[in-house]
Structure 1
Amino acid sequence: MLNFAIIGCGFIARKHALAIEKIDNANLIAVCDRIPKMMSFYSENYNVKTYTDSDEMLKNPLIDIVCICTPSGLHADIAEKVAAAKKHIVMEKPIAMTIEETDRIINASESNGVKLTIVHPNRFRTVVQETKKILDQKLLGKISHANCLVNWNRGQEYYDQASWRGTKAHDGGVLMNQAIHNLDLLLWFMGKPTEVFSLEATRLRDIEAEDVSAGIIRFENGSLANVQASTTVYPKNFEESITIFGEKGTIKIGGTNALHFEKLEVQNLDNPAIQNIVNRVEEDPWGTPGHQRIIEEIIFAIQNNAEPAVTGEDGKRALKLVLAFYESAASKTLVYI
């Protein structure tokens, strides 16, 4: 049995608590938030000890793993303390807001011998897993290009929930907060990026960061990708999709939450084989919830002295791509990664 604690009891923390509850060898024993009322849900629904001081909580020798669910700009300082206390780390995305902060997190984890995983749960969706298998088998042949679209709705009330939302220091905009999941998938599918160009705007939301972004990526293998992301769509989420065009096939993962194949045509897969793949997706599109898989994977990594499925370096790659988009938009130039 591994004991978990949560720091930061906002909305996303409930997904961590539910995931821990579903895993047989995981147990939530503590939560921490500077605002006591934020912890009432956990004290009422889980047998946990509550803390308003994370330093005090980290003295608890029974805690093995800490889920960090605070505003992103606070990740580095908290992670260093958690690692120094010899607790393993489950870090909500993005890993941090800067590369310097990211390196501090990774270095602290390595120097203290603790495991670090970043919550990029979309990798575990059934359709994503099936797409990755096809790409790893090189069934699409040479990749020409890809499209990555996240056109969602986040109304002003979403940003007004907390003063840190939509700020550049602690949250970022649609790329950092929503589309970073899809950029992580794009990197997982397409490989290393070498150049980006981006434009961004704040069109409809009263926030400091961007609410709409459009950009282009060139990858090391020569393929290109278009990226479009927004939180300005009326009246609700419209689409989340990734399309990959290859010389021997086309794949489109689509829908409002990128859960289904909207196109699956592969030269070397006959119709029955394709239908079998589609059926596996439709039978269980969400698969095991992503947060649960992330936590299961770090438990496996701890018990087997292995790397987690999503590492700190994976989190750094996704962040680096977002920051390259931001740099390009600010400078109005091509940015080399």
Structure 2
Amino acid sequence: MVNFAIVGCGHIAKKHAEAIEKAENAKLVAVCDKIPESMQYYKEKYDVQTFTELDDMLHEDNNIDVINICTPSGFHANIAIQAANAKKHIVVEKPISLTLEDADAIISSCRENGVKLTVVHPNRFRPAIKELRELMDSGKLGKLSHADATVRWNRNQAYYDQAPWRGTKNLDGGVLMNQAIHNLDLLVWLMGDLDEVYSMSATRLRNIEAEDVSVGVAKFKNGALGIIEAATTIYPKNLEESISIFGETGSVKIGGVTASFVEHLDIESMDKEEIDQIIERVKADPLGKPGHQCIIEDIVEAIKTNRDPIVSGEDGKKALELVIKLYDSADTNKPVSFEKNVGVNS
């Protein structure tokens, strides 16, 4: 049994607790939050130990194997480094951090302490996305032309007013960093490393520091192009999250409100029956096993077999880097290139 502890008992922590409960060979044994009342639910439902100080939890309970970081994003780095130094494996909510320097520090700390690190990008585990990845790995789309990553969602002012850190640049970020980063992770994972981006962003409708709408274009190192659109200004509710890939011999669009359905699939080397089978297979179970549960089960297996998690710290850094480059481009009104960073990946 691999024992887990959650740091930060806000909204997303419940997903982690449920995922740990459902996952094989996983058990939630402790939670930590500065506000004692926030931990009461977990104490009653899961019979866990509670701590208001992370240092106390790390050093008083030696049964903890993995720390799940569910705090506001700006706190991720300090908590992850402290946990890694205590020889705990780490599951960190997206984004891995808010700066590349912090991401490098997290990755380095985990490497130096010999602990596993995974970032919560659960969309990779959705049935439709897995089908798309398999098609791309098989080469059935041929030479890639371009891709489109779109997030058209609604987050009203009440959402941002729930907590003072929401929508701030130092602790949260805007639509790119908070909502669209999952789709951007898919874009990089499917299309490969980026060469250059150009972006514009604005804060049009929400009273927040960060952006609520962003549009941009990208060039990948393989020569393919990309289009990125992200907004939390859609009225009156979430409209779509989609990713489309276009190649010389195939085109695919995964869409719906949360990128869960095959909305278009046309492959030169596949007949209609094969294509229909994929579409129906996804339609029968569009969400599949919950993504957070997949993340938990994966790190359990990674610990037991001493392999890297499927979504690594480096993967989390790539998604973060794309967001930061889009921010840089919007701030300077110029294209921004992806040069090799000084740090753990140099």
| Secondary structure of residue in 2 paired with 1:172 | coil
Distance, in Å, in 2 between the alignment partners of 1:141 and 1:115 is 35
How many angstroms does 1:288 deviate by?
0.7
Map residues 238-317 of structure 1 onto 2, 5 A cutoff.
Answer: 238-317=239-318
> TM-score, normalising length from structure 2?
0.97
| Secondary structure of residue in 1 paired with 2:30 | strand
| Secondary structure of residue in 2 paired with 1:50 | strand
Q: Which residue of 1 aligns with 2:108?
A: 107
How many angstroms does 1:182 deviate by?
0.3
Q: Which residue of 2 aligns with 1:329?
A: 330
How many angstroms does 1:244 deviate by?
1.0
Distance, in Å, in 1 between the alignment partners of 2:291 and 2:180 is 16
- Amino acid in the other structure paired with 2:11: F
- Which digits, 9 at most, give the CA deviation of each residue in 1:24-68, with x for residues without a partner? 311101000001111111012111011100100011100000100
Report if aligned partners of 2:160, 2:166 keep a CA contact under 8 Å in 1.
yes
Distance, in Å, in 2 between the alignment partners of 1:130 and 1:82 is 36
| Residue 138 (str. 1) matches residue 125 (str. 2) | no
Distance, in Å, in 1 between the alignment partners of 2:88 and 2:298 is 16
Q: Which residue of 1 aligns with 2:41?
A: 41
- Amino acid in the other structure paired with 1:77: N
| Secondary structure of residue in 1 paired with 2:178 | helix
Q: Which residue of 1 aligns with 2:50?
A: 50
| Residue 195 (str. 1) matches residue 199 (str. 2) | no
| Secondary structure of residue in 1 paired with 2:108 | helix
Distance, in Å, in 2 between the alignment partners of 1:230 and 1:275 is 32
| Secondary structure of residue in 2 paired with 1:34 | coil
Q: Which residue of 2 aligns with 1:9?
A: 9
Distance, in Å, in 1 between the alignment partners of 2:105 and 2:189 is 24
| Secondary structure of residue in 2 paired with 1:58 | helix
Percentage of matched positions with identical amino acids: 58
- Amino acid in the other structure paired with 2:273: P
How many angstroms does 1:109 deviate by?
0.3
- Which digits, 9 at most, give the CA deviation of each residue in 1:243-276, with x for residues without a partner? 1111111100011111101100000011111111
Distance, in Å, in 1 between the alignment partners of 2:282 and 2:257 is 15
Q: Which residue of 2 aligns with 1:178?
A: 179
How many angstroms does 1:152 deviate by?
0.1
Distance, in Å, in 2 between the alignment partners of 1:107 and 1:83 is 10
Q: How many residues are treated as equivalent by the alignment?
A: 337
- Amino acid in the other structure paired with 2:10: G
Q: Which residue of 2 aligns with 1:162?
A: 163
| Residue 89 (str. 1) matches residue 87 (str. 2) | no
Q: Which residue of 2 aligns with 1:216?
A: 217
Q: Which residue of 2 aligns with 1:75?
A: 76
How many angstroms does 1:278 deviate by?
1.1
Distance, in Å, in 1 between the alignment partners of 2:24 and 2:229 is 40
Distance, in Å, in 2 between the alignment partners of 1:281 and 1:24 is 24
- Which digits, 9 at most, give the CA deviation of each residue in 1:277-315, with x for residues without a partner? 112101111111000000111111100010000000000
| Secondary structure of residue in 1 paired with 2:277 | helix
Q: Which residue of 1 aligns with 2:341?
A: none
- Amino acid in the other structure paired with 1:10: G
How many angstroms does 1:14 deviate by?
0.4
Report if aligned partners of 2:24, 2:297 keep a CA contact under 8 Å in 1.
no
Distance, in Å, in 1 between the alignment partners of 2:69 and 2:36 is 17
- Amino acid in the other structure paired with 2:238: N
Distance, in Å, in 2 between the alignment partners of 1:251 and 1:166 is 33
- Which digits, 9 at most, give the CA deviation of each residue in 1:227-257, with x for residues without a partner? 0000000110001111111111110001111
Distance, in Å, in 2 between the alignment partners of 1:23 and 1:196 is 39
Distance, in Å, in 2 between the alignment partners of 1:63 and 1:189 is 34
Distance, in Å, in 2 between the alignment partners of 1:46 and 1:301 is 24
How many angstroms does 1:11 deviate by?
0.4
| Secondary structure of residue in 2 paired with 1:163 | coil
Tell me, which stretches of 5 or more residues in structure 2 are unaligned?
A: 339-346
Distance, in Å, in 1 between the alignment partners of 2:26 and 2:149 is 35
- Amino acid in the other structure paired with 1:189: L
- Provide the aligned C-alpha RMSD in A: 0.6
Distance, in Å, in 2 between the alignment partners of 1:243 and 1:113 is 38
